[in-house]
């Protein structure tokens, strides 16, 4: 009897170990669970219908679309998997990936050395240059470089290189509290609470379509641009540390696309965002 019980326990332990290993290296069945804010156009947003091929948001009557959703659909198809979009707050996304409650984050994350300490990342699925946004009628509309932004009242999104790395480079800037989302950042500028925000080029292009009163300041062709490393403008897909099987599959799918494909898809997303129409 004791031998039988011992055997049963050993079998159970082996099964549990195999299950745990499978969970670490794989996904939940044949479904790719992808996390994003669904509030960060043109990367991702929520809409009320399935137009343009939008995907249902788990636990919601809304649908998700944008560049990240387009990329998620492409990867899921390449992997032969069903796609599930999970809406999460920006700060919750890394935790959800680490815990395994989602398989990956496709949400406009820069591949920084800090993030690489707790997450694995795919090869870049977009390269996002840093720009500023201001009012066409404001004091910085004709700025030619970062030094021309001196004294700006500015803000950006919480836990981004825009806020942590770029804003402090503006001489004498009055840096307001970081905001929880990209839409909140744009509202701050549009309402006059701030007169400048820093973001990436796709977000700025989308913002200018949604808010015609805004203008984008791109200093990339000058010697007075924001100083950022290559890792800070490479946008990647975050995956749980050690999930090499999924990482390799995603990288294989991305390898079939070119930077020109990324630009074409992003332009399509910018044109499709709800506020642009």
111-161 tens-digit pLDDT: 999 999 999 999 999 998 999 999 999 999 999 999 999 999 999 999 899
Task: Using the predicted structure, report yes or no on whether residue 198 has a pLDDT greater than 80.
Answer: yes
- Number of structural domains, the chain? 2
% of the chain beyond a pLDDT of 70: 89
Task: Using the predicted structure, report yes or no on whether residue 204 has a pLDDT greater than 70.
Answer: yes
Same domain, 142 and 209: yes
Q: Is residue 17 part of a domain?
A: no
Domain residues for 208? 130-229
Same domain, 208 and 248: no
What CATH number does residue 162 fall under? 3.40.190.10
Same domain, 165 and 217: yes
pTM above 0.85, yes or no: no
Same domain, 237 and 122: yes
Residues 6+ apart with CB under 8 A from 222: 144, 145
- The mean pLDDT value for 85-114 works out to 96
According to DSSP, the residues that pair with 200 across neighbouring strands are 130
**Tokens 């636990």 -> residue:** 59
Q: What is the mean pLDDT of the chain?
A: 90
What local confidence, expressed as pLDDT, does residue 2 receive? 32
Give the confidence band of 13 by pLDDT, cuts at 50, 70, 90. Answer: very low
Same domain, 112 and 147: no
Q: Is residue 123 part of a domain?
A: yes
Task: Using the predicted structure, report yes or no on whether residue 66 has a pLDDT greater than 80.
Answer: yes
- The mean pLDDT value for 208-215 works out to 94
């Amino acid at each position: 009897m004791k031998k039988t019980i011992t055997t049963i326990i050993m079998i159970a332990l082996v099964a549990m170990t195999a299950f745990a290993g499978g969970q670490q290296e794989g996904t939940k069945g044949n479904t790719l669970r992808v996390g994003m804010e669904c509030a960060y156009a043109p990367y991702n947003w929520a809409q009320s219908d399935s137009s343009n091929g939008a995907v249902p948001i788990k636990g919601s009557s809304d649908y998700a679309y944008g560049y990240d959703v387009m990329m998620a659909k492409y990867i899921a198809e390449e992997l032969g998997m069903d796609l599930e979009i999970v809406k999460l707050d920006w700060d919750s996304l890394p935790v959800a990936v680490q815990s395994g409650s989602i398989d990956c984050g496709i949400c406009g994350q820069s591949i920084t050395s800090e993030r690489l300490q707790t997450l694995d990342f795919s090869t870049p699925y977009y390269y996002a240059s840093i720009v500023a946004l201001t009012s066409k009628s404001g004091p910085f509309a004709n700025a030619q470089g970062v030094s021309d932004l001196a004294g700006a009242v500015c803000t950006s999104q919480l836990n981004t290189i825009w806020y942590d790395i770029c804003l402090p480079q503006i001489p004498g800037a009055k840096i307001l509290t970081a905001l929880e989302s990209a839409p909140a950042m744009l509202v701050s500028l549009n309402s006059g609470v701030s007169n400048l925000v820093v973001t990436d080029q796709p977000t700025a292009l989308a913002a200018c379509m949604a808010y015609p009163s805004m203008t984008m300041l791109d200093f990339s062709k000058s010697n007075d641009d924001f100083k950022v490393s290559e890792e800070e403008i490479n946008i990647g897909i975050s995956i749980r540390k050690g999930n090499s099987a999924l990482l390799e599959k995603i990288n294989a799918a991305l390898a079939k696309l070119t930077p020109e494909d990324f630009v074409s898809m992003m332009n399509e997303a910018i044109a499709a965002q709800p506020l642009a129409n």
